[in-house]
A and B are shown apart, each in its own frame.
Chain A
Amino acid sequence: MKLFSFARFAAVLVKEFIQMRRDRVTFAMMIGVPVMQLLLFGYAINTDPHNLPTLVEMADEGPVTRAILMGMETSDFFDFQGVVTSQADGDRALRDGTANFVVVIPPGFERDVVRGLRPTILLAADASDPVAASGAVGAIRGIVDTAMTESLTGPLAYAAQTAPPVDVTVHRQFNPEGVTAINIVPGLLAVILSMTMVMITAVAIVREVEKGTMEALIATPVRPLEVMLGKIIPYVVVGYVQTALFLVAAGTLFGVPFIGSPVAFFAGFNLYILVNLAIGFLVSTVARSQMQALQLSFFTILPTILLSGFMFPFAAMPAWAQTLGTAIPATHFLRLTRKVMLKGATLADVAGNMVAISIIMVVVIFIALKRYRGTLD
């Protein structure tokens, strides 16, 4: 008996395409979900917020104060909503969320500046969300310094701060404007492919078992490899379509550059599709019903989003979480896409990531094949 029959493999492939075409809802999901995610993540999420509502408590007024407030306003971080007259009002505004910041100008501020007494401005921030507060908090020092240098000129120059002994120049590379979408969107491909590939593969295989068609199928001379390849390759095509869609949207809608090697990208994403199909196949050997397959697939999606470095910086996670994250293929693919698209990486630059994905794939396939033999019985 032949070990592999191309004719039988082709028959399974054709059947799978026909079924895919007839299942309109799933088909729509395969295209709809990535588009939706791209739009939501790309447009809605901003980890560097601007125009945060700010109130001022003014116990003094003068040119220096005006210069500082003007500087804050033009920095775009702060959006002045009005004035409070007491500390209690300011606290209340912070607590009920109508303001993220309250700037307190103490009494006698202008006078103390002129006298060179280094008075203190209070910036009370709602820091319950560190991401929302950090950008503005980091910027305030520079804003105040600039305002002082600009307003304390001529005879008042003595009161201005002397230049610090060391200058630091920050060079924001790869994403100079700090646009969140430029970081999120390349990572999104990892999440989209992982979500749809794992889920669809798992469900497609479990469906045959659940509906009983697998029994009739394996009662024919068909070989396991022919079934596996025939069922999986249509979804590889889906992965290609999703990636093409993604690349177009990334470039046109979000202005994400693609400056690296297309070959590195192509090799990486094929490898990544394979590893996700393998995971989907593994899920299908565990799940007994389509519902279970869905639940298990969702179970794999959460760590993909949280621990891969897609949403939150990988380096900021504790060691155990980083170890977990390293075992997730998305972690490595995410780095690969970001490197290639944003940092102009070549095939050699991403070799390490590809090796990591390959190792995960070998392990997954090994476990899946061991389990697959078990479930035939």
Chain B
Amino acid sequence: MTEGQDAPAIEVSGLTKVFDGRKVVDGFDMSVPRGAIYGFLGPNGSGKTTTIRMMCGLLTPDGGSGTCLGYDIHREAGEIKRRVGYMTQRFSLYEDLTIRENLDFMARMYGLPHRKEKVSRALEDLGLANRSGQLAGTLSGGWKQRLSLAACMIHTPQLLLLDEPTAGVDPKARRDFWDEIRRLSAKGVTVLVSTHYMDEAVQCDFIAYIAYGKKLISGPSRDIPGMVGLTTWRVTGEALGPLEAKLRAEPDVAQIARFGDALHVSGTDKAALDRLATRYEAEGPQKWVEREAGLEDAFIYLMTGSEDNFGLKGAA
């Protein structure tokens, strides 16, 4: 066991999973530093959930190797499970148990000492102490998600695996949730979180983007736009709608995204895009300004590039 503080929380290489002859995850490498918030992005069906399940010992990889918190993911799933908190995509607590019963059940699963106090404290931290007798199924989406987080934190894990934790939760609850994630990260908990949302992705220290079961790109968040290699022009002014329609027909424009009252026009061929910008600016009436491609632009580019993940997979 390598319990050194510098050793990565997760270190996997060549991770592969085959379902019915289809490679759902294909040769996946990843290294998650301790204490980091690591964002895991990709379209639906790209293999994010399968990868996370392999890391916490729920699924046996068909190929590849790795360690999670220093334990071998093939042989030491039991040790990993005791030290990892896993929050599933769907609400996976018992709807017909009360809030307290759910937390108590989870605490028992981990064989926690001083269980009653821990559960009571978790309830107080949640702000649900006076509703502890309510059935979990009657909670709203945001509360369910906070309860889930509390349940997978009950054994104070060193690593949190969150599988699309904020799907279907309102923006306010999402913000609160991320505040909580950052608080945990500051305490030294490593967080691996998969998400669809760009505004969540930009909060991560590291990013990995996965599509078709393969990792397309990974690295520190600030390096991602450079890796994607986008040139972006910001367009402001009148009649952006008709302009957008015209630009869609231009082969050099890879992507057009609306940001408030501006259009971000991006492409991978800098020279061609610059020529196009000069031409359109001359036509007016809009104002074209070149800017550094942001993380958002990079994500939209990645997401649209692999939008038809399901369809393409069958054809490929």
Contact = CB atoms under 8 A, between A and B. Distances in A.
Most B Cβ at <10 Å: residue of A15, A18, A22: A15
B167 to A, nearest CB: 13
Given A11-B109, A219-B58, A213 B92 contact: yes
Contacts of A218: 58
Most B Cβ at <10 Å: residue of A10, A23, A215: A215
A377 interface: yes
Contact of B81 (A211, A220, A376): A220
B29 interface: no
A8 B94 contact: no
A221 B78 contact: yes
Contact of A220 (B90, B97, B110): B110
Interface residues of A, number: 24
Given A7-B108, A216-B86, A219-B58, A15 B92 contact: no
Contacts of B97: 15, 18-19
Nearest to B105: A15
A8 B59 CA distance: 22
A166 B92 CA distance: 77
Interface string A13-40: 0010011001100000000000000000
Given A11-B108, A18-B101, A213-B94, A1 B79 contact: yes
Contacts of A220: 81, 106, 109-110
Interface in B43-72: 56, 58-60
A173 to B, nearest CB: 52
B96 interface: yes
Given A1-B78, A19-B97, A212 B88 contact: yes
B133 interface: no
A215 B92 contact: yes
Contacts of A18: 96-97, 101
A216 B93 contact: yes
A216 B82 contact: no
B111 interface: yes
B95 interface: yes
A8 B111 contact: yes
B91 A22 contact: no
A376 B59 CA distance: 7
B58 A221 contact: no
A10 to B, nearest CB: 8
A18 B95 CA distance: 12
A376 B88 CA distance: 16
A5 interface: yes
A7 to B, nearest CB: 6
A213 B58 contact: no
A247 interface: no
B108 A8 contact: yes
Contacts of B109: 8, 11, 217, 220-222
Most B Cβ at <10 Å: residue of A1, A18, A211, A221: A221
Contacts of B92: 211-213, 215-216
Interface in A202-248: 211-213, 215-222
A211 B93 CA distance: 9
Nearest to A215: B88
B81 A212 contact: no
Given A11-B108, A221-B110, A212 B101 contact: no
A8 B115 CA distance: 13
Nearest to B59: A377
Contacts of A7: 108, 111
Nearest to B107: A11
A216 B151 CA distance: 10
A71 B94 CA distance: 69
Contact of A22 (B88, B96, B105, B106): B96
Nearest to B97: A18
Contact of A212 (B82, B90, B106): B90
Most A Cβ at <10 Å: residue of B81, B90, B105, B151: B105
A237 B101 CA distance: 22
Contact of B94 (A15, A221, A222): A15
A11 B105 contact: yes
Contacts of A5: 111
A284 B110 CA distance: 26
Contacts of B110: 220-221
Interface in A324-341: none
Contacts of A219: 56, 58, 81, 84, 86, 88, 152
Interface string A162-184: 00000000000000000000000
A212 B96 contact: no
A5 B110 CA distance: 10
A19 B94 contact: yes
A37 B73 CA distance: 52
A255 to B, nearest CB: 42
Interface string B106-125: 10111100000000000000
Contacts of B60: 377
A185 B101 CA distance: 42
Nearest to B81: A221
A18 B100 CA distance: 13
B283 to A, nearest CB: 54
A211 B144 CA distance: 14
Nearest to B87: A216
A211 B58 contact: no
Contacts of B82: 221
A191 to B, nearest CB: 29
Given A212-B90, A219-B56, 14 more contacts: A5-B111, A8-B111, A15-B97, A18-B96, A18-B101, A22-B96, A213-B92, A213-B94, A215-B58, A219-B88, A219-B152, A220-B81, A221-B81, A221-B110
6 contacts: A1-B79, A7-B108, A8-B109, A18-B96, A211-B92, A212-B91
Interface of B: 56, 58-60, 78-79, 81-82, 84, 86, 88, 90-97, 101, 105-106, 108-111, 151-152
